[in-house]
């Protein structure tokens, strides 16, 4: 079963964009609305989280309020084999020194 996802280029959003459509974060909201109306499209992908981080609520707020109001349900992945970690895993509860903070427990 093939699936098709559409990628969004949030990195193109800029107040100084030559293309008027890309001057507002609402462009992504409009794209998501359009994609959801197409029965052969299975969903959206966002190319990089850095843009969300850089633009902050300017980009996140319209998308969360309009399109991603609800938490996504994760599809079941039966094809993934669960791999057990080796028996000799590091036991963090028995460490004597926190190497990241340089302090003794």
Distance CA(2)–CA(42), nearest Å, equals: 10
9, 23, 41, 71, 96 from 48: Cα distances, Å: 8, 18, 20, 19, 38
pLDDT band at residue 47 under the 50/70/90 scheme: confident
Q: What is the pLDDT of residues 61-103, one digit of tens each?
A: 888 888 888 887 777 776 666 666 666 655 555 555 544 444 4
Q: Percent of the chain having pLDDT more than 70? A: 72
Average pLDDT, the chain: 79
Check residue 96 and give its pLDDT: 54
């Amino acid at each position: 079963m093939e699936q098709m996802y559409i990628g969004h280029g949030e990195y193109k959003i800029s107040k100084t964009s030559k293309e008027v459509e890309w001057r507002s974060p609402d462009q992504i909201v409009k794209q998501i609305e359009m994609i959801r109306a197409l029965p052969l499209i299975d969903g959206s992908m966002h190319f990089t989280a850095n843009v969300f981080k850089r633009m902050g609520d300017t980009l996140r707020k319209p998308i969360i309020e309009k399109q991603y109001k609800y938490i996504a349900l994760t599809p079941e992945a039966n094809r993934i084999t669960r791999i057990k970690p080796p028996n000799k895993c590091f036991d963090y509860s028995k460490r004597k020194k926190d190497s990241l903070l340089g302090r003794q427990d």
